[in-house]
Chain A
């Protein structure tokens, strides 16, 4: 009885502020924002610069971007600890591109990207633990530790490709398959401003236009192909126009809502049989090209700092959604600490995980092996071929 009255008293005391906070922060189910204007190439109409965002989606996107940021920071640290070997290209700074596109994906849509693939792997359904385990080369990695940083895959996610530009024809082929099979899906085919100059990109453009292949080409322009600034590598830096006969859209790649609207437009456009489309998302990477690049010889620290302070995709989104009262800062702080705990835990487990057994050296060379024995390093070290993975195209 006594306890009850205390509780009531306590409740009453907090009713007003609680009510106020609910009313002003979470009650608006959605808010409207204006994006930077889209630039259009060979299009009469583009995506809408006026976008509506629900509080539910705001939280979802925030979580996804923050998870990628945390995961990449962890990956960088693991690399510095020499636990991650070889390649490690971080996506920090570019989160809005991936999260914005993914927001519009339907079950039938696919994606293929280049070597900056960790964030996408997570967005396409792989737990950060399995991404980090791939980086540590351990058996819980999404490719059992056999692929490493650039070779992760998931349903509707075709990698992760380490050859600059090679993913562009591949993505075109994935989109061709969607058209051929009548799934109605499109393939988002991502490449950087460096790869944008690859010859095979233009070969793919040409065929995609000839055959009206539903491919969304996304040039993530982060300003640098390795250490060469876009203007030093590209005779034209208007990447959204470089499909020539393929319509294109320039998008502020630091604004997740702009990217989302562009992706919505692109999916509608390509699904309606009009052929391919080019999106340029102008963005920035905070880290060097890879972990071996401090990223300071070809750009200034001030430049990086300025982007962080004025254009960061997460900070700016956070300010936006708090300003519109879609969420309150406490909720975001709570999310931050949940993500930190999740990634910390993933790091711990990815470190502690073990490598696949040596017998898997000869695992999955062929989905239908015709020889049981595979040669090892000498004729005295023969290996037995084994099949472990699901081989999705076996039938």
Chain B
């Protein structure tokens, strides 16, 4: 049965003045510096290794090769083989070793070449890292960061194109971060390394080379962002988009397009998937009365599903003028076929269409 939503006309176009004011916000950039996400991650690890002798990196190709995606570039030269450790291609082995080292007081950064391979090691992420603190009644906390690129890259087919945001976020005991910009990457990775609990840090290969404006404050060695707090990337009153990682880029692009037809979108960059900053989402929905979640991961029991459920169980439900809608990856394994790959992932027009439908325009 087709899912038809009876969209009532909401007062989208009533406040033109306000809209114009809002759109000015998006042109605020002009920060003095730019930094790629890759460099942001690299500098975050460098800072934290300098700050704390217990911090070390291990993973495949992290040392002499400078990282499969060059995220750890230069660190082996600077810190040597004790602190930047190349491992064999044996995920459950090195992930387990990393967790054991964390139990015994070190601060490992365990790099998965991509998170697809973390499946080989998921027992250590879940059973060894996430649950030990609870099982030991608060004795053995596990300060570890599992990081690496997550989600769909380009043309790499089903086994290498999966978002693990929902998988890891489901597990209590873990903190799960999914950054978008360079500021996110730097501030949140530094926070993750300093955090005394296990953190899953989901990067995106397609964002590594992107440059984002960055301020002197962000470059400060003591700069950290709070884990569990979302960022409003764009203010708007008509509809809320909530997204993470690559989804934020899509959301912002869609918002720009909608703005040209007078629809002002609030874009929430989740930054953390667990804890989920539901309060920021609720506050936004209370104003906009419409929300769409955007993610590249699968729809079934996804991040959007969780957001929808939490909205239903909150005050925000009474402020909705339309149902919560999810724009997600299609419910299929990722095809290699170029045209199908595009169709399997949310595109700007999918988001724009969904928003218009929701707003009845």
Question: Using a CB–CB distance below 8 Å, which chain A residues touch chain B?
Answer: 110, 112, 143-144, 146-147, 151, 153, 158-159, 161-163, 166, 168-178, 180-181, 187, 199-200, 202-204, 206-207, 210-211, 363-368, 370-371, 374, 379, 387-394
Is B141 touching A143 in the complex (CB atoms < 8 A)?
A: no
- Asked if B99 lies at the interface with its beta carbon under 8 angstroms from chain A, I say yes
Is A176 touching B137 in the complex (CB atoms < 8 A)?
A: no
The smallest beta-carbon distance between B301 and chain A, in angstroms, is 16
A-B contact pairs, 28 of them (CB 8 A): A166-B128, A169-B97, A172-B93, A172-B96, A173-B98, A173-B102, A174-B104, A176-B106, A177-B100, A178-B104, A181-B105, A187-B100, A200-B93, A202-B93, A206-B90, A207-B93, A207-B94, A364-B133, A366-B173, A370-B228, A370-B275, A371-B275, A374-B172, A389-B133, A391-B141, A391-B196, A392-B141, A393-B143
Question: Using a CB–CB distance below 8 Å, which chain B residues touch chain A?
Answer: 54, 56, 82, 85, 87-88, 90, 92-106, 108, 123-124, 127-128, 132-143, 172-173, 175, 195-197, 226-228, 275, 313
Is B196 touching A390 in the complex (CB atoms < 8 A)?
A: no
Is A153 touching B136 in the complex (CB atoms < 8 A)?
A: yes
Contact partner of A177 (CB less than 8 A), chosen from B104, B196, B226, is B104
Complex CA distance for A187 and B105, rounded to whole angstroms: 14
Is A210 touching B133 in the complex (CB atoms < 8 A)?
A: no
Is B139 touching A389 in the complex (CB atoms < 8 A)?
A: yes
Is B137 touching A177 in the complex (CB atoms < 8 A)?
A: no
Q: Which residues of B contact A379 (CB under 8 A)?
A: 313
Is A174 touching B137 in the complex (CB atoms < 8 A)?
A: no
Is A363 touching B133 in the complex (CB atoms < 8 A)?
A: no
Q: Which residues of B contact A169 (CB under 8 A)?
A: 92-97, 99-100, 124
Complex CA distance for A146 and B197, rounded to whole angstroms: 19
Is B100 touching A172 in the complex (CB atoms < 8 A)?
A: yes
Is B143 touching A389 in the complex (CB atoms < 8 A)?
A: no
Complex CA distance for A147 and B132, rounded to whole angstroms: 9
Is A177 touching B101 in the complex (CB atoms < 8 A)?
A: yes
Q: Which residues of B contact A175 (CB under 8 A)?
A: 100
The smallest beta-carbon distance between A375 and chain B, in angstroms, is 9
Contact partner of B105 (CB less than 8 A), chosen from A204, A364, A367, A393, is A393
Is B133 touching A170 in the complex (CB atoms < 8 A)?
A: no
The smallest beta-carbon distance between B172 and chain A, in angstroms, is 5
The smallest beta-carbon distance between B104 and chain A, in angstroms, is 4
Contact partner of A365 (CB less than 8 A), chosen from B85, B127, B134, B142, is B134
What residue in chain A is nearest B85 (Cβ atoms)? A211
Q: Which residues of B contact A161 (CB under 8 A)?
A: 128
Q: Which residues of B contact A210 (CB under 8 A)?
A: 88
Q: Which residues of B contact A207 (CB under 8 A)?
A: 87-88, 90, 93-94, 97
Complex CA distance for A206 and B91, rounded to whole angstroms: 12
Q: Which residues of B contact A110 (CB under 8 A)?
A: 104
Complex CA distance for A210 and B102, rounded to whole angstroms: 20
